[in-house]
Amino acid sequence: MDEQMRETLLNYAYSRIVELEKLLLPDFEETVWPAEVVIVFSQIENAGKLPAHHQRRLQHHINRMWLEKNASTFNYCRGRFAGQR
């Protein structure tokens, strides 16, 4: 693959990533994050020095992972204690 084709493909891939990010992570002026997200974010070294859009993306991922973890915990508890009613 020649260098020009490689550069064209990389530019296209980058533009698609940016486009999809805008769809998945809408840009809000102020987002109120749960306390758990704030605590985890504050413990990541240099996270506050990232550009604002990277900080929001990181907070979004922390929030999503936190919710996924809680969902599995809730499902476990529901299943575990459902028979004890």
Q: Are 25 and 57 in contact (CB under 8 A)?
A: yes
Q: What is the pLDDT of residue 12?
A: 93
Provide the 8-state DSSP code for 18. Answer: H
Give the residues of the chain that fall short of pLDDT 70: 25-29, 71, 73-85
Q: What is the pLDDT of residue 73?
A: 60
pTM of the model: 0.54
Q: What is the pLDDT of residue 83?
A: 58
